[in-house]
Amino acid sequence: MAYIKILFVYLIVCRAFAAEVSITIDDPSLDSGAPFTADQRNSRILEALRKHQAQALLFVCGKRVDSAKGRALLRTWGQAGHWIGNHSYSHENYGSAGQGFEEFSLDVQKGETVIKDLPGFRRIFRFPYLKEGNTASKRDRMRSFLEKSGYSQGYVTIDASDWYVSDRLRERLKKNPKADLAPYRNFYLRHIWERSQFYNGLSEKVLGREVKHTLLLHHNTLNALFLDDLLRMFKEKGWKIISAKDASSDPVFKAAPKIVPAGESVLWAIAKESGKFDPILRYPAEDGVYEKVEMDRLGL
């Protein structure tokens, strides 16, 4: 009996301190890709979020949806209670030497024109590729510009490479529409779980606590197929799916790490700024090259 009581208390404590994660999805588009049209892909992603009662944050690259049809697709997100944020208009890399502040800030403003009248719009900005500037001057000028424009940072805490897995899956489906999808599903779930464990551990090491996480995903074939499985996986492993609104209350999203190049996961950036964790911080923090070897080995 005593053992049962101890086990019960342990389970209650574990549940009370379960890691929390919100879903953010970048780059909705009107592109069709096997096996879905843009509307089918959008509907499947929204249905997975609805099924798990997950209020998400969609980051929009304006050029990909700058049409009546594109705004109609975006409107389904706002009408479903999700937030819509700015991901620039052209999706240029602000971490490149050729991308200046004046050009980039105008592009951010242009991106807002596509989404500002939609239900769910919030002044939250996420840098394309998570690159916040390759010089201190560019970094600080954009931070000042965003603050004066009423924007908060759409930081990622859990970075990953779902886009790369999805690209490889699409190429396989082009060659063989009847390809077995299970290996891609399994690789994807392992990849996201491993990255979630890494960044949650980094949060504990750097901040001494688990933050309210934001997971970076994309509006792609992979998530149209397997977002339901991913959300179920988190729940089965004891993580709590929280809303974008809830996640935004975490103080970590007000951080302004002073590193150059600036960007990556905000947890990565805070760790880099501390100078204490360089042996475990690869650069760039996430990229398809890290998954290529294993996917090649598995024939994916």
Q: What is the pLDDT of residue 237?
A: 98
pLDDT, average across residues 252-263:
98
User: What are 98-111's pLDDT values in tens digits?
Assistant: 999 999 999 999 99
Q: In whole numbers, what is the pLDDT of the chain averaged over residues?
A: 94
Q: What is the pLDDT of residue 63?
A: 98
**Beta carbons within 8 Å of 100's beta carbon, 6+ residues apart:** 138
Closest CA to 86 of 154, 160, 133: 154
The pLDDT-based confidence of 132 (bands split at 50, 70, 90) is: very high
pLDDT, average across residues 190-195:
98
Residues 243, 260: Cα–Cα separation, whole Å = 31
The pLDDT-based confidence of 6 (bands split at 50, 70, 90) is: very low
- For residue 213, tell me if it sits in a domain: yes
CA torsion, ordered 42, 248, 164, 203, to nearest 10 deg: -150
Model confidence pTM above 0.75: yes
Indicate if the pLDDT at residue 12 is higher than 70. Answer: no
Indicate if the pLDDT at residue 2 is higher than 90. Answer: no
Q: What is the pLDDT of residue 255?
A: 97
Query: What percent of the chain has pLDDT above 90?
Result: 93
Residues 70, 27: Cα–Cα separation, whole Å = 12
pLDDT, average across residues 29-56:
96
Q: Quick one: three-class SS letters along 132-151?
A: EECCHHHHHHHHHHHHHCCC
- For residue 14, tell me if it sits in a domain: no
The number of CA neighbours under 13 Å toward the Cβ of 177 is: 4
Residues 198, 165: Cα–Cα separation, whole Å = 19
CATH code of the domain containing 181: 3.20.20.370
The CA-atom distances, in angstroms, between 18 and each of 5, 12, 159 are 20, 10, 20
Q: What is the pLDDT of residue 17?
A: 64
- For residue 270, tell me if it sits in a domain: yes
Q: What is the pLDDT of residue 4?
A: 40
Q: What is the pLDDT of residue 34?
A: 81
- For residue 202, tell me if it sits in a domain: yes
Closest CA to 154 of 274, 28, 244: 244
Residues shown for the chain? 300
Question: Which residues constitute the domain of residue 270?
Answer: 28-298
Number of domains in the chain: 1
Residues 171, 165: Cα–Cα separation, whole Å = 10
pLDDT, average across residues 270-296:
97
Q: Which residue has the tokens 């944050």?
A: 57
- For residue 7, tell me if it sits in a domain: no
Q: What is the pLDDT of residue 70?
A: 98
Residue 5, phi-psi category: left (phi > 0), alpha (psi -120 to 50), beta (remainder): alpha
Indicate if the pLDDT at residue 183 is higher than 50. Answer: yes
User: What are 213-245's pLDDT values in tens digits?
Assistant: 999 999 999 999 999 999 999 999 999 999 999
The pLDDT-based confidence of 295 (bands split at 50, 70, 90) is: very high
pLDDT, average across residues 94-122:
98
- For residue 45, tell me if it sits in a domain: yes
Q: Which residue has the tokens 């491993």?
A: 194
Q: What is the pLDDT of residue 131?
A: 98
- For residue 12, tell me if it sits in a domain: no
User: What are 146-175's pLDDT values in tens digits?
Assistant: 999 999 999 999 999 999 999 999 999 999
Q: Quick one: three-class SS letters along the chain?
A: CHHHHHHHHHHHHHHHCCCEEEEEEECCCCCCECCECHHHHHHHHHHHHHHCCCCCEEEECHHHCCCHHHHHHHHHHHHCCCEEEECCCCCCCCCCCCCCHHHHHHHHHHHHHHHCCCCCEEEEECCHHHEEECCHHHHHHHHHHHHHCCCEECCCCECCCHHHHHHHHHHHHHHCCCCCCHHHHHHHHHHHHHHHHHHHHHHHHHHCCCCEEEEEEECCHHHHHHHHHHHHHHHHCCCEECCHHHHCCCHHHHCCCCCCCEECCHHHHHHHHHCCCHHHCCCCCCCCHHHHHHHHHHCC
- For residue 5, tell me if it sits in a domain: no
pLDDT, average across residues 183-209:
98
